[in-house]
Structure 1
Amino acid sequence: MINHLSPDMIEAAAERLLAVRNGAPRLIDLPVSMRPTSWDAAYAIQDALIERLGPVVGWKVGAADAAAEPFRSALTGQTVSLSPASVAHAGHNVFGIEAETVYRFDKALPPRDKPYRDEEVLEAIGSIHAAIELVDTHFAIWKGASHLSQIADQFNHAHLIIGSGREGGALVDAFNQPVRVVINGETFIEQRGGNAAGPSIRMLTWLANGGAASLGGLKEGTYVTTGSWTGLTFVAPRTHVEVTFEGIGSAVVEITE
């Protein structure tokens, strides 16, 4: 489906989303005149928002299941931190935590006509890390806005905390990788596998072969997170969270007032 929004409407939508980040009242959804009804329109708004937020340092990519078309959002430096991190709950609508794995690209994969093969993508990865994504909505109600409006607004991204990791060995068994989530000192989740999107390489290659093209592709030093392994857990202020992926690393965040 083509982008039905004019350049002016795309810019206006990005300004509305930016205004909420700067303290304006939250919207139920974008106004109908600038609400995306296609993926192209949603990504065009997202790109315009990212250009206002700052240089791209990372991406989030995921999929509803192992056969579904992936989706993406670019991430900027203001919402990406190294573990251990402290993030204030104040100013957010909700705060959910997700245990994720992050890939650091030590080699750039710029847009090109010839598709990248899985092997080329894997060769560009320098390390894999444990991570925690904090999710929020800049709209008034969690999941109250349309799905494409959420995509336009960085698909509910709030903050990404990148933990320790390992160099090389980027392939992870999506069905058997052990993962543990500890909240305030107590084990909350302990399981094997769990990423509904399936093997990460499918999403990483999709991102390299077009998903990231509109913003210059995957640059050297870029971090890419590939979806939740443990689902979404909402947390309150004064919460300590530690996520561990056995054989990979761990990430820690303190949710303050």
Structure 2
Amino acid sequence: MHTPELTLTPDAISAAAHTLTSRRLSGQVGAALPAACRPLTLHDAWAVQNAVTQELAQRTGEQVVGWKCGLPGADTWVLAPLYASTLSRADALGASPSACPVWTQQGQVKVEPELAFVLGHALPPRAQPYGVDEVRAAVASVHLALELIDNRYDDSVPLQFADRLADGLVNQGLWLGPAVDLAQGCAAQTLDIEVHADGQPLLSQHGVHPAGEPLAPLCWLAEFLRQQGQGLQAGQVVITGSYAGAPWVPVGPRLRVRFAPLGEVVLRFQDRPRG
């Protein structure tokens, strides 16, 4: 039996999750889900997204190590889990110890320059809402980061927001860079983003956080997950929006991404074969 907010049955949710899980594991893309199991509402999409996480855990032992999120709209919830197997970390000097593997398209990958907030203590489910000060106090460190983007649907397929929410909002992983000043990171409404590949300039943009306050989406996420009986765990990483859209960058060259005035990251990507 399903709740009034859902249009999908449990079997349909399971079928949708199985297809999206298989695509996520293989890197393959495909058409929109069949009508019988295609999510139509935010509640449908949220149920499918959770079912994908459960199936990944069953098939591979995958764990949720964080979230991407943004402020919601009138008919959008902006959140998706970040998985342990897709989290790459920089070394202490800010350089990747090895090339970061990514699904690519024609030798390129989309990235989103973001700040990542690492929680020092949990924000578990409870009866009373979380205040802004409580959420701020839970943040132990702020890091430069690149969200890694990939689509499990064919780019020519017309999609609704529920389709994308069910599939994790085009996230394929996160590259977590060095920590920056905590107070500056939490207050960084604007950052000047520069991208160079082997010394050649690719992007120079005065970046503005899409929510204004970079911690605002984290506050929304903590409250949303509290209401869902899930909560946030100590050590989890949360990204809250790109300062420069989702530019394509080449795979192979040495990349330098500057987040002025906070710092910069240096890394390389390598192609991860699909299938």
Q: Is the 8 A contact 1:101 1:131 kept in 2?
A: yes
Question: d(CA) in 1 for partners of 2:26 and 2:209?
Answer: 34
Distance 1:126 1:198, change over 3 A: same
Q: Counterpart of 1:134 in structure 2: which amino acid? A: L
The 5 Å alignment of 1:206-217 reads 206-211=220-225, 214=228, 216-217=230-231
Q: How many residues align?
A: 255
1:15 alignment counterpart: 18
The 5 Å alignment of 1:1-257 reads 2-23=5-26, 26-53=29-56, 54-63=62-71, 70-83=77-90, 84=96, 86-89=99-102, 95-141=109-155, 144-166=158-180, 168-169=182-183, 170-174=185-189, 176-211=190-225, 214=228, 216-257=230-271
Question: d(CA) in 1 for partners of 2:104 and 2:191?
Answer: 35
- 5+ residue gaps, structure 2, are 57-61, 91-95
CA RMSD of aligned residues (A): 2.6
Q: CA deviation at 1:40?
A: 1.1
Q: CA deviation at 1:224?
A: 0.3
Q: Is the 8 A contact 1:108 1:218 kept in 2?
A: yes
Q: Counterpart of 1:182 in structure 2: which amino acid? A: H
Q: Is the 8 A contact 2:151 2:171 kept in 1?
A: yes
2:59 alignment counterpart: none
Question: d(CA) in 2 for partners of 1:127 and 1:142?
Answer: 40
Scaled by the length of structure 1, the TM-score of the pair is: 0.88
Question: d(CA) in 1 for partners of 2:201 and 2:27?
Answer: 38
Q: CA deviation at 1:24?
A: 8.2
Q: Is the 8 A contact 1:116 1:209 kept in 2?
A: yes
Question: d(CA) in 1 for partners of 2:27 and 2:246?
Answer: 27
Q: CA deviation at 1:184?
A: 3.0
Question: d(CA) in 1 for partners of 2:225 and 2:156?
Answer: 25
Q: Is the 8 A contact 2:103 2:150 kept in 1?
A: no
Q: CA deviation at 1:64?
A: 7.7
Question: d(CA) in 2 for partners of 1:95 and 1:215?
Answer: 35
Partner-residue secondary structure (3-state), 2:44: helix
Q: Is the 8 A contact 2:125 2:229 kept in 1?
A: no
Question: d(CA) in 2 for partners of 1:226 and 1:23?
Answer: 27
Matched residues, percent identical? Answer: 29
Question: d(CA) in 2 for partners of 1:133 and 1:25?
Answer: 19
Q: Counterpart of 2:259 in structure 1: which amino acid? A: F
Q: Counterpart of 1:173 in structure 2: which amino acid? A: A
Provide, for residues 94-125 of structure 1, a one-character-per-residue CA deviation record: whole Å limited to 9, x for no partner. Answer: 72111111000001001222111111100000
Question: d(CA) in 1 for partners of 2:52 and 2:226?
Answer: 15
Q: CA deviation at 1:90?
A: 5.2
Q: Counterpart of 1:252 in structure 2: which amino acid? A: V
Partner-residue secondary structure (3-state), 1:193: strand
Q: Is the 8 A contact 2:110 2:150 kept in 1?
A: yes
Deviates more, 1:24-33 or 1:45-54: 24-33
Q: Counterpart of 1:120 in structure 2: which amino acid? A: E
Partner-residue secondary structure (3-state), 1:44: helix
Q: CA deviation at 1:15?
A: 0.4
Scaled by the length of structure 2, the TM-score of the pair is: 0.82
Q: CA deviation at 1:31?
A: 1.0
Q: Is the 8 A contact 2:49 2:166 kept in 1?
A: yes
Deviates more, 1:89-98 or 1:131-140: 89-98
Q: Is the 8 A contact 1:10 1:48 kept in 2?
A: yes
Structure of greater Rg: 2
- 5+ residue gaps, structure 1, are none
